[in-house]
Structure 1
Amino acid sequence: MNKISPQSLAAKKAKGEKFAVLTAYDATFARVVDEAGIDVILVGDSLGNVLQGHTSTLPVSVEDMCYHTACVDRGTEKALIVADLPFGSYNTIDDTLSNATALMQSGAHMVKLEGGQWLCESIRLLTERGIPVCGHLGLTPQSVNTLGGFKVQGRDEAGARRIITDAKALEDAGASLLVVECVPTELGQRLSEALTIPVIGIGAGPQTDAQVLVLHDLLGISRRIPKFVKNFLADAPDIATALENYRVAVEQGEFPGPEHSFD
């Protein structure tokens, strides 16, 4: 069985083939997600919300992330595993390298960081040392207190240009993937066209190269369901079928629709 790699995802983008990403936090759900043909499993710090019951991702620790990454690794055969570096774990170069190394040793194939150009030195350091990186722009949940809440980003042209500039800088520094969250559909498209690396949207419209959702949101069991989410279990007989339906809807460009996107 061929493992998904950053290179195979880049090849999909080059051929205009969309792919699906989904979170998972344990071995059982990782196996179901993997068997549904999802290309990338994100071990997100969203576990703080959906597993630990917090109102934000800020309390999640590196130890939490390593534990859940190891669990997901045991249940995964094919998908690329991306693990979040949690809040406060990449403020310095030394912390970034140490904590990213711990996640990779726990089973991650790539780490994800939230932020713009200030991360470029860290991204270069990680990639030089064999640690692939996924960036995250737009609404960055770890910065919710400075953003003033969970708000759509890049609605004005100045804000959109800042995000595009940051995205290009992250790509130039060596990032292999980029997640963009809660931005207008037009900006999601502009980012996908501006970058050669795949852009993974969540609340970023249908024109990005891929889509990601939180597993518990997709199943309709989260405490708060964002606008950009569709409950795929509502019309499916079981969880496995719901995940397969999500994958197919993403690959065929049927999800997200206008009702899941921002102007």
Structure 2
Amino acid sequence: MSMADKAARFAEMKRRGEPIAMLTAYDAPMARAEAAARVDILLVGDSVGTNMLGYASEQEVTLADMAHHTRAVRRGAPDAFVISDLPVATYETPTEAVANARVLAEAGADMVKFEGCRPAIVEALVGAGFAVCGHLGLEPQHHAEKRLKGKQAGEAHQLVEAALTMEKAGIAMLVLELIPEEVAEIVTQRLKVPTIGIGAGRATDGQVLVICDVLGYTKAAFRHNKRYAEVGETMEAAARAYVGDVHSKAFPAAANAFPMNKEQLPEFLASLA
């Protein structure tokens, strides 16, 4: 089945008014859990850099990083629909974009995503057989200041025009990040392809969040996010309890040890003598 054929079901979900649930996934255990939870789309985002790799920004993420994590996600969720980000400076020309998209597809991506209004890049990717997800609004790869985009009327109008331009070029999906709800609603109404919001309000065709934010890995609280767990606190508490048990010699206990066969033990001890 081609990439376009795999992506077609999301356009059908939009047509039927069925919300699309997307989450980022960065490794096999995450992917396995999300697939079991029936997440519609797993996004291997370049947010892996700041959330899992300790990078200062998404601009440090490499194509090798993205391919590595895409392969891990694919191994964890063999049947899931996976989108993978083209990292910064890997889609400056059509030729470069196609070559790098091929790397992600070979790693297991069903669709590739990139940031900004670049219709020529979309046309080249689609022409080469790739399904493409656009990304407008806040562009973490290109915008140093993480602030709401499209607040002013002129900027909002440009965003709508950019969305229409990208659709005409051939995108199959569009992520809208950190824009006013009203602007996201207009874009969603005017596009035939599904929109996926993050900090874009309630009117988009689907939602995406960063799994680390959902799980509460850190104490950072974002208005656009909803914390469904406090995994960061749980990890710290578990590590602290483990350290206490090791230091007090409570772990390992007899139940955690493997005794030697009673018939072999005397022979072993005699061999030492």
TM bin, normalised by shorter chain, reads 0.7 to 0.9
2:138 pairs with 1:139: yes
Matched with 1:154 is 150
Distance 2:218 2:109 in 1: 25
Distance 2:216 2:229 in 1: 7
Q: Structure 2 CA distance, aligned partners of 1:123 and 1:185? A: 26
Among candidates 156, 172, 177, match of residue 176 of structure 1: 172
1:198 aligns with 2:194: yes
**SS, match of residue 144 in structure 1:** coil
Letter in 2 for 1:77: P
- 2: CA distance, partners of 1:53 / 1:207: 33
> Does the aligned pair in 2 maintain the 1:85–1:113 contact within 8 Å?
yes
What is the CA RMSD across the aligned residues, in angstroms? Answer: 1.7
2:94 match: 93
The letter for the 2-side match of 1:150 is: K
Deviation at 1:79, TM superposition (A): 2.4
- Identity in percent: 38
Identify unmatched segments of 5+ residues in structure 2: 235-273
> Number of matched residues?
229
Q: 2:215 — aligned with what?
A: 219
Aligned counterpart, 2:183:
187
Instruction: State the one-letter code of the partner of 1:54.
Output: Y
Shift, 1:122, TM fit: 1.2
Q: Deviations over 1:136-169 (max 9, x none)?
A: 0000001123xxx001000111111100100001
Instruction: Give the secondary-structure state (helix, strand or coil) at the position aligned to 2:39.
Output: coil
Partner Cα separation in structure 2 for residue 162 and residue 96 of structure 1: 24
**TM-score normalised by L of structure 1:** 0.84
- 1:21 aligns with 22
CA distance in 1, matches of 2:124, 2:157: 26
Q: Does the 8 A contact of 1:30 with 1:72 survive in 2?
A: yes
Preserved CA contact (<8 Å) 1:34 1:77: no
Alpha-carbon distance between aligned partners in 2 of 1:177 and 1:201, rounded to the nearest angstrom: 11
CA shift, 1:223, in A, is 5.5
| Structure 1 match to 2:57 | 56
How many angstroms does 1:129 deviate by? 1.3
Q: Secondary structure of 1:114's partner? A: coil
Structure 1: give runs of 5+ residues left out of the alignment.
239-263
Considering Cα pairs closer than 8 Å and 6+ residues apart, tell me whether 1 or 2 has the greater RCO: 1
Matched letter for residue 127 of structure 2: E
How far, CA to CA, are the matches of 1:172 and 1:208 in structure 2? 19
Offset, 1:93:
1.8
Task: List structure 1 segments (4+ residues) > 4 angstroms apart after TM superposition.
Answer: none
TM-score normalised by length of structure 2: 0.81
1:52, CA displacement in angstroms? 1.1
Cα separation, 2, equivalents of 1:97 and 1:5:
19
For the pair shown, the structure with the greater C-alpha radius of gyration is 2
